[in-house]
Copies of this chain bind each other. A is one copy, B any other.
Amino acid sequence: MEIGIVGPGAIGLLFAFYLQKNGQDVTLYTRTVEQSERLEKCGITCVQNGIRETVFPHVSPLENINNGRHDYTFVAVKQYHLEDVIPYLQAKKRLVFLQNGMGHLHLLQQIQGASVAVGIVEHGAKKENVSIVHHTGVGSTKFGFIHGERKQFEPLFTAFSSNLFPVVVENDWKQTMINKLVVNACINPLTALFGIQNGELLTNPSFHKVMKQVFSEVMGVVGNIQCKEHWDRVCTVCENTAHNTSSMLTDIHNNRKTEIDAIVGYLIQEAKKQQKSVPTLSFLYHSIKGLER
């Protein structure tokens, strides 16, 4: 299959690596010519459990995307770059969006003339440099269908198959997205604000209280059902990723824009629609915005 992947971030590199390794004909699209040239030359190296492996997909600047006739196109840019990227995708027939958060769903619903799916990525991935990605946690990619014919995506699933890179089809993908959103909202902004690894949200009793306060407001927005399950999931992720530095903390350390809009910004918008007051989320949102210098 011919597969296009837009965005050479950690998730874009991870997808390009595994799909190319699994025998697909992958083209990775970058924002700049420099990135393309560098990746063309070095290939993509993935480090997993101490093993380094390099593959050489095609690489090209995004402006050339309509030269390629991809069976499937993955979009792996950050949520806040989606509006810039979508105009390049008008000729594509099958699109899979891999963004965190839920703030972008309304954009995907507006896409016409294509079958649109989302992939909820539960892998841990960290970019070391332009061409090296560390696969720090093996999870799965959970597929949800936004619109169009879902059977059009079935051939794609054979491209996953590796036990390190499995795929799951989720009928209730919105719930899966909410589950991930709750976890992200409780963990990422606080670790960025306090400059701590994920585990300290469990081991420091004061931070644990703060996380519980954030959690309560999040539950008020997403609906108070299965509250205990959500909380257990948040705590389990803290535990399993205790020594990880969250991507939001890494973004703050590197003076980069964070995904706060996609995560907490979305929840604040939802709260507004429901006319609910969310002072803690609001505090958190503006605090992270302030730290994005």
> Footprint of B on A, CB under 8 Å?
193-194, 204-207, 209-210, 213, 279-280, 282-283, 286-287, 289-291, 293
Contact = CB atoms under 8 A, between A and B. Distances in A.
Given A206-B290, A207-B287, A207-B290, 15 more contacts: A194-B287, A194-B291, A204-B290, A205-B290, A206-B286, A206-B287, A210-B283, A210-B287, A210-B290, A213-B279, A213-B282, A213-B283, A279-B280, A280-B283, A283-B283
A162 to B, nearest CB: 40
Contacts of A209: 286
B194 A286 contact: no
5 tightest A-B CB contacts, nearest first:
A206-B290, A206-B289, A207-B290, A206-B286, A209-B286
Nearest to A291: B194
The oligomer's copy count stands at 2
Contacts of A293: 204
Contacts of A206: 286-287, 289-290
A206 B194 CA distance: 17
A194 B192 CA distance: 10
A260 to B, nearest CB: 10
Contacts of A193: 193, 287
Q: Which residue, of A193, A206, A207, has the highest number of chain B Cβ atoms within 10 A?
A: A206
A282 B290 CA distance: 20
A210 B193 CA distance: 13
13 contacts: A193-B193, A194-B287, A194-B290, A194-B291, A204-B293, A206-B286, A206-B287, A206-B290, A207-B286, A210-B290, A279-B280, A280-B280, A283-B283
A88 to B, nearest CB: 31
